[in-house]
């Protein structure tokens, strides 16, 4: 099991927060312009009104564009605040790597959605959930060994579950894809394919539940 420390959060790298002041200054400027326009009395003559600041939609347009620029700049400069290893994990680049088009050719459509796009299969839909033979479970994308059948147990969730992976087989990274519900994503370390998530409600000896998508794995029975 390999946990890679990442300086990431729900909105990306910490660098994004450092530039949030730019957006606050733009908001303050936009509010000030609106107050100037509202301060002109309604009974002034046309010549005085023509000299007053004019109502414009420009602040309403500039603000979202500027905020988008800040976010884009933070992403572009993210590698200045993270190691190459962390950037590789963030971009799902493993030792075994293919372009997105190549992954689509190598994998069947649903396996591609799970491994490369983090889709989740329906519970009780995978035959691997009921697999009880002796052997090992390997990545459906690159064939790397992931779990030994000895670590498999019936969690009752409907997904293949294990209390531990093979040594050095997976990478665990923070997952903030669901607001207010931070989780830990489990990936194949070799190709960075999405496998599932790990939870702290498993059985002894680890107390962990590696809840995996059957579509992300294949089973190889012991010879």
Contact by Cβ (8 Å): 94, 190: yes
| Residue tagged active-site, from 139, 142, 188, 211 | 211
Annotation says 9 is catalytic? no
What is the residue-wise DSSP string for 99-131?
-HHHHHHHS-HHHHHHHHH---PPTT--GGGG-
Contact 147, 201 (CB under 8 A): no
Q: Which residues of 187-210 are buried (b: 16+ CB within 10 A; e: fewer)?
A: bbbbbbbbbbbbbeebeeebebbb
Q: Which residues are catalytic?
A: 211
């Amino acid at each position: 099991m390999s946990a890679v420390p990442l300086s990431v959060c729900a909105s990306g790298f910490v660098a994004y927060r450092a530039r949030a002041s730019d957006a606050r200054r733009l908001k303050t400027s936009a509010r000030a312009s609106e107050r100037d326009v509202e301060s002109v009395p309604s009974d002034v003559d046309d010549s005085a009104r023509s000299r007053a600041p004019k109502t414009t939609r420009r602040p309403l347009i500039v603000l979202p564009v500027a905020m988008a620029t800040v976010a884009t700049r933070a992403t572009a400069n993210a590698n200045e605040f993270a190691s190459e290893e962390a950037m590789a994990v963030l971009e799902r680049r493993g030792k075994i790597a293919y372009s997105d088009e190549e992954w689509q050719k190598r994998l069947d459509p649903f396996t591609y959605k799970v491994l490369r796009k983090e889709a989740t299969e329906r519970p009780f839909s995978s035959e691997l959930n009921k697999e009880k033979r002796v052997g090992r479970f390997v990545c459906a994308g690159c064939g790397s060994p992931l779990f030994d059948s000895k670590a498999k147990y019936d969690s009752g969730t409907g997904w293949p579950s294990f209390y531990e992976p093979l040594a050095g087989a997976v990478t665990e990274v923070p997952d903030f894809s669901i607001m207010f519900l931070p989780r830990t994503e489990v990936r194949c370390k070799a190709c960075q394919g999405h496998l599932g998530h790990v939870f702290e409600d498993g059985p002894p000896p680890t107390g962990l539940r590696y809840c995996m998508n059957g579509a992300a794995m294949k089973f190889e029975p012991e010879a």
